[in-house]
Structure 1
């Protein structure tokens, strides 16, 4: 079965950077939340330092999970580039679009 490669490549060139940007946006949002939680704990009178520590650990664990996910998606991106070169002769790193944020930056939403 012959499949036209160009539409597949175009879809991947659109979807991979969007996924990468969304993961970055999620990491930024989690970091912002973590900052807000730690700041609230520090600035709220009478709250002991140990209060909320488990919550902060969970946020940090979630952040590390996103870092792992980001690395996996970047490796997939590299593997797709290799497949493109091997199967279609594409030099896809040169054709990869610049990454753009898929959502508004946090400062734009405020």
Structure 2
């Protein structure tokens, strides 16, 4: 395998799981915000149930958008793994373990 291909693969091994984690972190943050908003509405005396409904709907749309993005990134991950098998002959059964084991390759990409 060429040095350029090794460096490219190392970047992808680092960047794809990192993107997946960041999307999950964003989904957790929006979910926490949703919990806080609904709790605040419920616990604030004198606030009608209809107050904040538009905000809650927007947060729900943001959650769904993040779920869609997460699915797209997972599909990209699978497609890149297929390309790696075809192009470089990688045998990628468990991408996260390969990402953890690739520290020497990652250093070359930095």
Give TM-score scaled by structure 1 length: 0.83
Q: Deviations over 1:40-84 (max 9, x none)?
A: 000000000010001000000000000000000000000000001
Other-structure match for 1:60:
60
Q: Distance in 2 between matches of 1:93 and 1:65?
A: 29
Which structure shows the higher helix fraction? 2
Q: Structure 1 stretches of 5 or more lacking a match?
A: 101-110
Other-structure match for 1:86:
86
Q: For the Cα contact (< 8 Å) 1:81–1:93, is it kept in 2?
A: no
Give TM-score scaled by structure 2 length: 0.83
Shift of residue 3, structure 1, vs aligned partner:
6.2
Alignment of 1:23-102 (within 5 A): 23-94=23-94, 96-98=95-97
Q: Distance in 2 between matches of 1:47 and 1:22?
A: 35
Shift of residue 91, structure 1, vs aligned partner:
1.3
Q: Structure 2 stretches of 5 or more lacking a match?
A: 101-110
Q: Which has the higher contact order (CA 8 A, sep 6+)?
A: 2
